[in-house]
Structure 1
Amino acid sequence: MSIPKRVAERITNRIKQFQSILDAQRARDVSEADTVTLVKDLLSEVFGYDKYAELTSEHSIRGTYCDLAVKIESKLALLIEVKAIGTELRDQHIKQAIDYAANEGCEWVVLTNAVEWRMYHVLFRKPIDKQELAQLNLLTIDTKQDECMERLYLLTREGFVKSALAEYRDRKEATSRFMLAAILLHSGPVQTALRREVRRVSEMLVDPAEIDKILRDEVIKRECIEGEQADAAARRVQRSAEKSIRRASEECEGSEANPNPSESPPVQDAH
Structure 2
Amino acid sequence: MKGVEVGPEEDGSVPTLRLAGIGQLAEIDEDAFTDGAFILSIGGAQQSHVDLVNPGNVFYEYLRRIANVLDIFKPAGKPIRVLHLGAGALTLARYVQAKRPGSDQVAVELERELLDFVLEHLPLPAGTRCSLVIDDARAALDRFEPESFDAVVLDVFAGADAPAHLTEDAFYRALTALTAPGGVVLVNVGDDPPLTFARAQARLLREAADDVALLADAGMVSGRMAGNVVLVGTDRLWPADWTPKLVAAGPHPGVVVTGPELASFCTAQQ
Which structure has more relative contact order (CA 8 Å, sep 6+)? It is 2
Rg: which structure is higher? Answer: 1
Asked whether the two chains share a fold, i.e. TM above 0.5, the reply is no
Where is the helix percentage greater, Structure 1 or Structure 2?
1
TM-score (norm 2): 0.28
Where is the strand percentage greater, Structure 1 or Structure 2?
2
TM-score (norm 1): 0.28
